[in-house]
Structure 1
Amino acid sequence: MEVFRAPRALCDHYFHSYAFYKIALRALQPVIALEQEMNMGNVYDTLTEINMIKERLNEHSCIRVLDEEGDSWDAYFSFTLPAKEPEIADLESRWYIPPSYKQFLSVSNGAVLYKDVQYGQWGFYLYGTKDLITKNEQWHKLYSSLPNDYLVFAESLGDADFLIINTCHPEETNECVIIGSDVGYEVSTWPIIAQSFAEWLSYLVNSQGAKYWEN
């Protein structure tokens, strides 16, 4: 079953004004809620989302976006070479790697998404295979209450937020939920923000890099 994706069309064609931005962002919320309720995480494809981003990049690897304050700015993107099979196999010896995230690593071994090129105070740094190991050692030391199954796969630029794959996945699906950190609160209360990595990436693109889970 295909879920209606009108907000993406709004994002692509009508985000030239703040009013349209707010309308589209509000319109996106019930779609996200509906998709989560229907557990539609497996309808998303990581490669499709990445290709959609790459098709919109200008010669400086940027996309012009409009934020919640009504300001437009250039969001920078950077992708790398694919991870090698032994590198992914090494990760799989440590954690369960869900299909949509494995697909990402097979296309780009790490990435920078929606980086504010002027101030560097916004964006997401997605770890490559090498960083995944060292960064998770650091995060788990810093937050000793993080379960061993929590794989931190990205961090926010400009703040202390980070994103987690809960690799302890339900038996009925091969995918894993994405959790957003909420520093200052108990880890057990941190929210699930997507049903898979591909779903999270799709929502992020729909919301033009905004932290949709905080709206």
Structure 2
Amino acid sequence: MLELHNITKGYAEDRKVLVNLSYTLNAGEYVAIMGESGVGKSTLLNLIAGLDSPDSGEIRINGVAISSMHDDAATLLRREQFGFIFQAFHVLPHLTLAQNIALPLLLNGIATDCVNQMLEQVGLHGRGHHFPRQLSGGELQRVAIARALIHRPRLVLADEPTGNLDPDTAHQILQLMRREIKANGATGIIVTHSHIAAATADKVLNLTQNGLHSAESGHKL
């Protein structure tokens, strides 16, 4: 499903955050990536998502290099098959919660009748008509998570998805993410500093200057 071949990325000649990184993830695998601040975890997610480009190396999705795709094809791939959960939320302020969550469905020509069910799953039942300005940071994070999962993506990328949530809500959201990833046979990557969040994945990987290395296996909460 996802192949990283000798990925190198730096932001200055003397500051390479990723060097010759290689790894392969198959469909259905759900991994957590941990590591010290500044080691390149979020950078790696942005590269996989196609939001940034590596200085060298290649990222392949189902055998096709993202860098070789035309812009329209890459955009269509992200729209149909990717689900993003990033720290900045990227919730559109002029749309209601239901409209924000429905966006991936509308862009892909899918019926939106499951939006209310998803709102209930993330603990926002009856709030679909509200606007983002009426929500707390934790509630906005839940909207972002619902939007990322609503169209059943084949690749889910999550950057600290529970960073703004209280422990009980975080537990519910982590279980929802795992259920959706497994039910859809998707590949999932969660970047986190939380050992509790990481434990919901099948496998924990540590990102260091020497690449990705397997840590202890995740377990179900």
TM over 0.5: no
Which TM-score band applies after superposition, normalised by the shorter structure? 0.3 to 0.5
Greater relative contact order, per chain length (Cα 8 Å cut-off, separation 6+) = 2
Structure number with higher helix proportion: 1
Greater strand share, structure number: 2
* TM-score normalized with structure 1 length: 0.33
State the TM-score, normalizing by the size of structure 2.
0.32
